[in-house]
């Protein structure tokens, strides 16, 4: 009999965020992808991120920059993945949005809890935009994960805003309290990346 061994599709993820790489590995690994960090001379690429434009434009800009950096290199035709994400808080007019990482560094999750002190509307959502350059085409896909901002930070798992984000489709724990697999099965990144994999599969069977 014949054993079919499907070859894994190798994707270079252009990010310096190790948490995003780990999540992408656990989301796309089991469905046939090998995710590796894109390194140029041993370093993850440093992107200029035009934050005022929103996460979709930031993701597209990162892709253009990555392609430019890889021009004329032996990686120029490799599938490249970029992602931009953030948390959007309803009562704060979608702040911090595309500026989530800076705001996290500047005021931290405690700063966000302070801004929301006494605020009843706790609604928020994580959003991710993933863009892949695959087979000379660019595909873009989105993921949204709706939830609430907790009153106190709980749990040490995940990263960023996870200790203060309670997803609506779970059991009331924050992402910080969820196991890695639980988060990865539901997250905005899961939705965006699974969607991309559908584009890739469709492209392969063209």
Q: Which residues bind ligand IMP (CB under 6 A)?
A: 17, 49, 84-87, 100-101, 104, 126, 158-162, 187, 189
Phi, psi of 137 (to 5 degrees): -125, 160
CB nearer ligand IMP, residue 100 or residue 150:
100
- Tokens 């069977």 map to which residue? 205
Which class for 9: exposed (0-12), middle (13-18), buried (19 or more C-beta within 10 A)?
A: middle
CB nearer ligand IMP, residue 133 or residue 189:
189
CB nearer ligand IMP, residue 139 or residue 162:
162
How many secondary structure helices (H) and strands (E) does the chain include? Answer: 5, 7
- Tokens 């890695």 map to which residue? 180
| Catalytic residue annotation | 84
Smallest gap, in angstroms, from Cβ of residue 64 to ligand IMP?
16
User: Which residues are bridge partners to 137 per DSSP?
Assistant: 134
Q: Which helix (H) or strand (E) holds 175?
A: none
Smallest gap, in angstroms, from Cβ of residue 152 to ligand IMP?
17
Rounded Cα distance between 140 and 158, Å, is 25
User: Which residues are bridge partners to 146 per DSSP?
Assistant: 125
Smallest gap, in angstroms, from Cβ of residue 121 to ligand IMP?
20
Smallest gap, in angstroms, from Cβ of residue 20 to ligand IMP?
7
CB nearer ligand IMP, residue 11 or residue 82:
82
- Tokens 């928020």 map to which residue? 124
């Amino acid at each position: 009999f014949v054993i079919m061994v499907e070859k894994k599709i190798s994707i270079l993820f252009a990010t310096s965020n190790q948490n995003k790489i780990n999540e992408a590995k656990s989301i796309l690994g089991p469905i046939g992808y090998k995710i590796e960090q894109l390194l140029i001379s041993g370093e993850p690429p440093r992107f200029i991120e035009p934050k005022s434009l929103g996460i979709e434009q930031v993701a597209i800009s990162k892709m253009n920059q990555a392609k430019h950096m890889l021009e004329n290199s032996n990686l120029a035709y490799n599938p490249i993945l970029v992602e931009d994400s953030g948390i959007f808080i309803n009562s704060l007019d979608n702040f911090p949005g595309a500026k989530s990482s800076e705001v996290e560094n500047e005021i931290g999750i405690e700063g966000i809890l302070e801004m929301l002190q006494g605020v009843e509307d706790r609604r928020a959502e994580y959003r991710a935009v993933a863009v892949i350059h695959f087979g000379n085409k660019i595909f873009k896909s989105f993921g949204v994960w709706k939830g609430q901002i907790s009153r106190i930070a709980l749990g040490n798992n995940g990263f960023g805003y996870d200790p203060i984000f309670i997803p609506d489709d779970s059991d009331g724990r924050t992402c910080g309290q969820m196991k890695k697999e639980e988060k990865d099965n539901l997250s905005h990144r899961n939705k965006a990346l699974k969607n991309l994999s559908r584009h890739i599969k469709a492209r392969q069977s063209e």
